[in-house]
Amino acid sequence: MKISVNKVVHEVDVDPATPILWVVREQLGLNGTKFGCGIGQCGACTVQLDGNAVRSCLTPIQQAVDKEITTIEGIAPSESELHLIQQAWIDEQVPQCGYCQSGQLMSAHALLTTNPNPSDEDIDLAMSGNICRCGMYSRVRKGIKRAAVAMNNSATTKIMNDEEMD
Amino acid sequence: MKKWTRRAFITTGVITGGALVLGVAIRPGNRARKVKDMIAGEGETVLNIWLKLAADNSITVIVPHAEMGQGTHTTLPMMLADEMDADWKTVKMLEAPGDKQYANYALARGFIMGEKDFPSILLGTIDGVFLTATKQMNLQITGGSASVRFTGMYAMRVAGAAARAVLLKAAAEKWEVAEEELEVKDSYISHKESDRTAPFADFVAQAAELSQPAKPRLKNADEFKIMGTSPPRFDIPAKVDGTASFGIDASLPNMKYAAIKASPVFGARLVPLPDDAIAEMPGVQKIVNLDNAVAVIADGYWLAKNALNKLDIAFEKTDNDTIGSEDIYGQYLQDMDKALAEGNEEKDIKKGNAGDALETAKEVIEAEYRVPYLAHATMEPMNCTAVVNNDGCQLWVGSQNPLGFAASVAEALELDTENVVVHNQYLGGGFGRRAMPDVAVQAALIAREVDYPVKLIWSREEDTRQDHYREANISRFKAALGENGKITAWNNQFLFKHDPEEAPHIPYDIGNQFIHYANSETHVPWGWWRSVDSSMHGFFTESFMDEMAYKANKDPYEFRRAHLTNAPRYLKVLEMAAEKANWGAALPENWGRGIAIHKSFDTIVAQVAEIEIIDGNLKVHRVVCAADPGYAFHEDGFRAQMESGIIYGLTAALYGEITIENGAVKQSNFHDYKMVRMNEAPVIESYIIKSDNWPGGAGEPSTPGIAPAVANAVFNASGIRIRELPIKNHNLSARSMKLG
């Protein structure tokens, strides 16, 4: 079976019903995506399928064929840079144990991609599927808001640069 | 017993293979020599067992505690680096190997001896005794909110100051100047008069020949440069890009995966399954029967889990097969009455004569409180990767107690502890759960049956049902009020006592106190759960205190104040929380405000919760938290711990309930063991009071106070008194008569 993960195509030989979680972790060695509950309740396993946040512990790999899987290892623009959301997470010192944070970041990334200026209610809606046992919810919220500002500024800069090019 | 002499524990340096190990003061025996091979790289100098210095003048601090998000991998190096006057920008961290040389002697000493100031001459002897003791106890524990309080204060700061002292002495000798004329800043030593400046690294060879002082001068708070600030935590970058390696991320060549199911009724034995039970299951390798569990090994975890689900698993019957939570509460009450009647209970506090005072009181106010069992529910389910071969056993696991894990595994495999190596990984939550070695023992027993490494992962269901639980408990109070509206007598009976010692004690000025407890044996395994006994007693004592306030027709804050006139430290914390929360200001209809104060692990925390009851549903809007930890060495880290402990305690207060049914745990996963989520999380404001008292803990002390603050707020809003947790089981739409 051919799957594309973080824009790299892989050939994997697994039961098509295998959840994406175990394929990326065990077959591809992408350990950033975490196992938490196995029933889609905690969000630790969140990845994106064509940009939408999905629970990889419940989503069979066959559903990813002809689609793009993005994991925490795939959101930074390059190996030497962080995504602005990741930088915001460092600036706000969001993680404690950190185990849920790949999932938090993937949910936050999907939110900000579709909604550049989320309200508190938008954040509640998008993020309430991600449990943080260390209780860092207020920092996740701050992280999202800081990232939103940074991403909007960066988008504005890009538009200005593009206009100058014109 | 061997006598320690001063010469025996002040040792000199050793030079081996270009790297250099400096003498270890502060402890007997040359431990630096023993640990050098474990921690030093090419060209690095081990200054003492807690730090090494590289040729580029960078410093690596060795931390004997696990990182589970509490920030100890950053805060402890800050303490050492500050005393050393090191350049923080060049400081790195290395977690100590799970080796007996790193047993938490400082921690044990802190627990046993408190903060006594030892004369210098005794230090080596005392630390030697405690090192021996901790080694024998196999302690390398991260828990008890103790890293900063004990390892930080007894080991890190002393090691940093001692290293600074010998480096200075070496510089003075080399430059032939008086030590007093030297200055140290950012890992450089300078002599103004001769205009010389050189890095620490230049003096390491000379320093190696000198003995480190056993009791170097430590800085006063006003001299701190790094302590008390909030540098970014070392562990965070790896936690935002997915590279942080938790126990579950261990990966070894030829590794296979195991799923396991243990007896739902604790203590029941497995009816062993035949080897061919997994025949014709592709990718499934082996079935392993353990005493009370069966495991399946497969090429992938999903395969192993599915195979396990298909097996027909049975356990032997036990006497506990019909026991339920109500039976346990019934047994508790019987045992409490019996212990009281027979006078064979444990006495905790006996002050004045509470019995007489209650007998002669006009009215005795009584209340009975209950809390259920609680599971830890760390985000990362229990797991361990093990390989067993002729050399012994190696384990990859996130552990709060690596030495204890090694000892337990050694016992199970009948190996010497020296032949069991624990490679500690990041912990995806600890909260006390990862001090228990059960999963490591299972992994080792499974891996012993095969010639490849095995990664054992518990399902969430297994994690919920095979925990070591915060016990269910009952607390009964009797108290009386005097003419002046103050409490004259306080009688409190409950079950069990673990730690912290002060959990059921109250700071209030009450002349007659009798605090006592019974014991009652159950088959449900017990474990340390964030804030341990305080997780219950904070709720018990502070809720009952609230009842007494209403009985006295007093404002609950003013009522507490009136009972804290002899406890100025508590009073200050309480007043700060009330002031910041705008205590007394009017609230909208159906809103309520509740206050609570509790000390645990030497940190006093007061909380004010603001809640609203909307159509019978409870919404916690805001929590104001004031804390006196003596000193907060990493301020932002301390605030983060306050926030974390509050959310953890709030989950327990609102939803936390493990029920025993037919001898087993009923709940299984996050749908029936609910957690507070983003949309339910209150705004939390934390305020820190630096009182210069001996530092208290950070990881646990904010957990006990949130349940009573919220429950008292519910009463304030509705007149409904919560005497049993969790709050979800109460009908809050039935508004009771509101007092006051």
Per residue in B101-140, pLDDT tens? Answer: 666 656 555 544 455 554 455 555 556 555 655 555 556 6
Gap between the Cα atoms of B467 and B527, Å rounded: 8
Residue B232 sits in the same domain as residue B267: no
Residues shown for chain B: 740
Angle, vertex CA B283, rays to CA B280 and CA B286, nearest 5? 75
Return the SS3 of B482. coil
Q: Is A150 exposed, middle or buried (0-12, 13-18, 19+ CB in 10 A)?
A: middle
Pairing of strands A46-49, B383-389: unpaired
Does the CB of A37 have a partner CB in chain B at under 8 Å?
A: yes
Does the CB of B232 have a partner CB in chain A at under 8 Å?
A: yes
Return the SS3 of B647. helix
Residue B84 within a domain: yes
Cross-strand partners of B267: none
Q: Which residues of B touch A76 (CB under 8 A)?
A: 241
Place of tokens 């034995």: B269
What range defines the domain where residue B103 resides? 6-240
Return the SS3 of A66. coil
By Cβ distance, the residue of A18, A31, A134 closest to B69 is A134
| Cα-to-chain-centroid distance, residue A113 | 10
Chain A closest CA to B649's CA: distance in Å? 10
Most A CBs within 10 Å: which of B230, B284, B379, B461, as the mutation test of the A interface? Answer: B379
Chain B closest CA to A33's CA: distance in Å? 7
Domain boundary among B436, B457, B478: B457
Inter-residue contact B164 to B84 (CB < 8 Å): yes
Residue B158 sits in the same domain as residue B254: no
Residue B432 sits in the same domain as residue B535: no
Cross-strand partners of B346: B517
Residue B358 sits in the same domain as residue B500: yes
Does the CB of B255 have a partner CB in chain A at under 8 Å?
A: no
Q: Is the dihedral of CA B412, B413, B415, B416 positive or negative?
A: negative
Q: Which residues of B touch A42 (CB under 8 A)?
A: 379, 460, 670, 675
Domain boundary among B193, B208, B240: B240
The answer, yes or no, to whether residue B202 has pLDDT greater than 70, is: yes
Does the CB of B182 have a partner CB in chain A at under 8 Å?
A: no
Residue B536 sits in the same domain as residue B583: yes
Which DSSP category does B270 fall into?
Answer: B
Residue B444 sits in the same domain as residue B572: no
Residue A66 Cα distances to A11, B427, B581, angstroms: 13, 36, 55
Report pLDDT for B11. 28
Element (H, E) at B385: strand B383-389
Instruction: Please tell me which residue of chain A has the smallest CA distance to B306.
Output: A18
**Mean local confidence (pLDDT), B147-163:** 84
The answer, yes or no, to whether residue B245 has pLDDT greater than 90, is: yes
Return the SS3 of B344. coil
Residue B613 within a domain: yes
Both tokens of B370, joined, read: 């209950």
Residue B82 Cα distances to B226, B631, B690, B735, angstroms: 5, 15, 18, 56
Report pLDDT for A74. 98
Flag if A36 and B669 touch (Cβ within 8 Å): no
Q: Which residues of B touch A98 (CB under 8 A)?
A: 69, 235-236, 238-239, 244, 426, 428
Report pLDDT for B127. 60
Residue B404 sits in the same domain as residue B488: no
Gap between the Cα atoms of A137 and A127, Å rounded: 9
Residues shown for chain A: 166
Over its C-alpha atoms, chain A yields an Rg (Å, rounded) of 16
Closest CA to A3 of A59, A53, A58: A59
By Cβ distance, the residue of A97, A123, A138 closest to B428 is A97
* DSSP codes joined into one string, B440-459: HHHHHHHHTTSSS-EEEE--
Gap between the Cα atoms of B534 and B686, Å rounded: 20
Gap between the Cα atoms of A86 and A72, Å rounded: 10
By Cβ distance, the residue of A95, A133, A138 closest to B240 is A95
Percent of chain A topping pLDDT 70: 98
Gap between the Cα atoms of A105 and A94, Å rounded: 11
Return the SS3 of B607. strand
Q: Which residues of B touch A29 (CB under 8 A)?
A: 251
Gap between the Cα atoms of B396 and A109, Å rounded: 32
Residue B165 sits in the same domain as residue B198: yes
Most A CBs within 10 Å: which of B75, B142, B239, B433, as the mutation test of the A interface? Answer: B239
**Mean local confidence (pLDDT), B162-176:** 94
Does the CB of A111 have a partner CB in chain B at under 8 Å?
A: no
Flag if B242 and A19 touch (Cβ within 8 Å): no
Dihedral class, residue B283 (left if φ above 0, else alpha if ψ from -120 to 50, else beta) = left
Secondary structure in 3-state letters for B492-505: EEEECCCCCCCCCC
Closest CA to B239 of A6, A115, A50, A136: A136
By Cβ distance, the residue of A37, A76, A123 closest to B241 is A76
**Mean local confidence (pLDDT), A55-73:** 98
Pairing of strands B392-397, B617-628: unpaired
User: Which residues does B724 contact at the CB level (< 8 Å), separation at least 6?
Assistant: B369, B370, B371, B730
Does the CB of A90 have a partner CB in chain B at under 8 Å?
A: yes
Most A CBs within 10 Å: which of B73, B233, B243, B302, as the mutation test of the A interface? Answer: B302
Chain A closest CA to B688's CA: distance in Å? 18
Residue B323 within a domain: no
Q: Which residues of A touch B377 (CB under 8 A)?
A: 133
What does pLDDT average to over chain B? Answer: 89
ipTM of the complex: 0.97
Does the CB of B648 have a partner CB in chain A at under 8 Å?
A: yes
Residue B158 sits in the same domain as residue B301: no
Inter-residue contact B163 to B189 (CB < 8 Å): no
How many domains are contained in chain B? 3
More confident residue, B16 or B324: B324
Residue B42 within a domain: yes
Most A CBs within 10 Å: which of B70, B236, B240, as the mutation test of the A interface? Answer: B240
* Predicted confidence (pLDDT) per residue in B443-496, tens digit: 999 999 999 999 999 999 999 999 999 999 999 999 999 999 999 999 999 999
Which of A5-9, A110-114, B44-48 bottoms out in mean pLDDT, i.e. has the lowest? B44-48
What is the identity of the amino acid at B227?
M
What does pLDDT average to over chain A? Answer: 96
The answer, yes or no, to whether residue B615 has pLDDT greater than 60, is: yes
Report pLDDT for B128. 58
Residue B740 within a domain: no
**Mean local confidence (pLDDT), B172-192:** 97
Q: Is the dihedral of CA B558, B563, B564, B566 positive or negative?
A: positive
Does the CB of A14 have a partner CB in chain B at under 8 Å?
A: yes
Inter-residue contact B427 to B66 (CB < 8 Å): yes
- B61 — phi, psi (to 5°)? -100, 130
Residue B693 within a domain: yes
The crossing angle, in degrees rounded to 10, of helices A137-165 and A120-127 is 110
* Predicted confidence (pLDDT) per residue in B306-318, tens digit: 999 999 999 999 9
The answer, yes or no, to whether residue B5 has pLDDT greater than 80, is: no
Both tokens of B248, joined, read: 């579950």
Strand order across the B284-289 sheet: B284-289, B293-298, B256-262, B454-457, B383-389, B392-397, B420-424
User: Which residues does B709 contact at the CB level (< 8 Å), separation at least 6?
Assistant: B542, B594, B595, B596, B607, B608, B609, B623
The answer, yes or no, to whether residue B209 has pLDDT greater than 80, is: no
**Mean local confidence (pLDDT), B601-606:** 95
pTM: 0.92
Residue B1 within a domain: no
Does the CB of B711 have a partner CB in chain A at under 8 Å?
A: no
Flag if B677 and A18 touch (Cβ within 8 Å): no
Flag if A96 and B460 touch (Cβ within 8 Å): no
Flag if A135 and B232 touch (Cβ within 8 Å): no
Q: Which residues of A touch B647 (CB under 8 A)?
A: 132, 134-135, 137
Chain B closest CA to A118's CA: distance in Å? 14
Flag if A36 and B379 touch (Cβ within 8 Å): yes
Domain boundary among B240, B256, B287: B240
Over its C-alpha atoms, chain B yields an Rg (Å, rounded) of 28
What is the identity of the amino acid at B377?
A
Place of tokens 């007996």: B100
* Predicted confidence (pLDDT) per residue in B54-76, tens digit: 889 999 998 888 888 889 999 99
Inter-residue contact B45 to B405 (CB < 8 Å): no
CATH number, domain at B449?
3.30.365.10
What is the identity of the amino acid at B651?
T
Gap between the Cα atoms of B46 and A151, Å rounded: 45
Residue B39 pLDDT level (bands cut at 50, 70, 90): low
Flag if B669 and A41 touch (Cβ within 8 Å): yes
Gap between the Cα atoms of B91 and B50, Å rounded: 13
What is the identity of the amino acid at B543?
S
Both tokens of B200, joined, read: 């620490």
Cross-strand partners of B258: B297, B456
Flag if B241 and A32 touch (Cβ within 8 Å): yes
Does the CB of A150 have a partner CB in chain B at under 8 Å?
A: no
Residue B462 within a domain: no
Residue B189 sits in the same domain as residue B303: no
Report pLDDT for B126. 53
**Mean local confidence (pLDDT), B314-341:** 98
Residue B476 sits in the same domain as residue B498: yes
Residue B552 sits in the same domain as residue B685: yes
Chain A to chain B, count of Cβ pairs less than 8 Å apart? 175
Pairing of strands B660-661, B664-665: antiparallel
Closest CA to B440 of B468, B465, B486, B404: B404
Report pLDDT for B556. 98
Angle, vertex CA B516, rays to CA B510 and CA B521, nearest 5? 155
